[in-house]
Amino acid sequence: MKRLFFALPLFFTAFTMAQDLKVMSFNIRLQVESDKENAWTERKQDAVDLLNYYHPDYFGVQEALPQQMKDIKNGLKNYNYVGVGRDDGKEKGEFSAIFYNTERLDVVKSGTFWLSETPDIPSKGWDAAYNRVCTYAIFKDKKSKKEFLAMNLHFDHIGNVAREKSAGLILKKIKELNPKDLPVTLSGDFNLTDDTEPIKILSEGLQDSFYHSETKHYGPVGTFTNFNVNEVPKERIDYIFVKDLKIKSHRHINDRRENLLYPSDHFPVIVDVQF
């Protein structure tokens, strides 16, 4: 009986661990030479080192240009990605791609749609300044065999109408892409604080992991730093929303590079969730 008593917790611990999922959202800041000491060429290794250290099961990137996508892919072991450039649906322009750990996750289905009136083709929506996209994948967890829908996006930074319409489009697409009503994760740079209408719209159908974590949020409240190391950011514009997942922890990663500068002008958001 003692042997059985001690074996059961080990079994359940292993089973529980198999259900945990580590998700990250990371606006890596596009390559701009005028950033000088904060240009991608100066900080790409630090960004890759951060990703290798935290080792998320999947992470969504924003502002990633084609060369940056290659740098991240080449710097990580056993990761692949889904996603396309927002300008031509292929390799041109910024990606809002999803990188995933190939040892942990299989892709069942994936794609990209545009945050516009014509989501199936490269396009700029409503009053947006740029083309904006959302990349998605239905993943299967190799350990538990459970499936979930992951989405990653970057809302426009100017168009108020575009951001509100995009929020409605996201909720519509979740229903279209998810007929099995699988659990959902939605990561991204939303360029909005949580008192704005688009975030309120999304919060009606999804849980903001910042507020629904079982353990208290860790790290600065804000996520956008503009590379300023002398002020603690107060504005939270990067989010991870979930549906039908238990949120175990939520953190904004404010790690610095060896020269005490930041790896990006946004703090990565990382959450631990459980099926």
If one counts every other C-beta atom within 10 angstroms of the C-beta of residue 261, the result is: 15
Give residue 245's identity as a one-letter amino acid code.
Answer: L
User: Which pLDDT belongs to residue 238?
Assistant: 98
pLDDT score of 169 more than 70 = yes
Cα 216 to its chain centre, rounded Å, is: 20
User: What is the mean pLDDT of the segment spanning 228-240?
Assistant: 97
Instruction: Tell which residue, 144, 170, 145, has the closest CA to residue 155.
Output: 170
Place of tokens 């949120």: 247
pLDDT score of 40 more than 70 = yes
If one counts every other C-beta atom within 10 angstroms of the C-beta of residue 226, the result is: 11
Q: What is the dihedral of CA 110, 116, 120, 121, to 10 degrees?
A: -120
Task: State the pLDDT confidence band at 269, using cuts at 50, 70 and 90.
Answer: very high
Q: Write out pLDDT tens, residues 129-159.
A: 999 999 999 999 998 999 999 999 999 999 9
What share of the chain has pLDDT > 70, as a percent? 93
Place of tokens 């661990």: 17
Contacts of 34 (CB under 8 A, 6+ apart): none
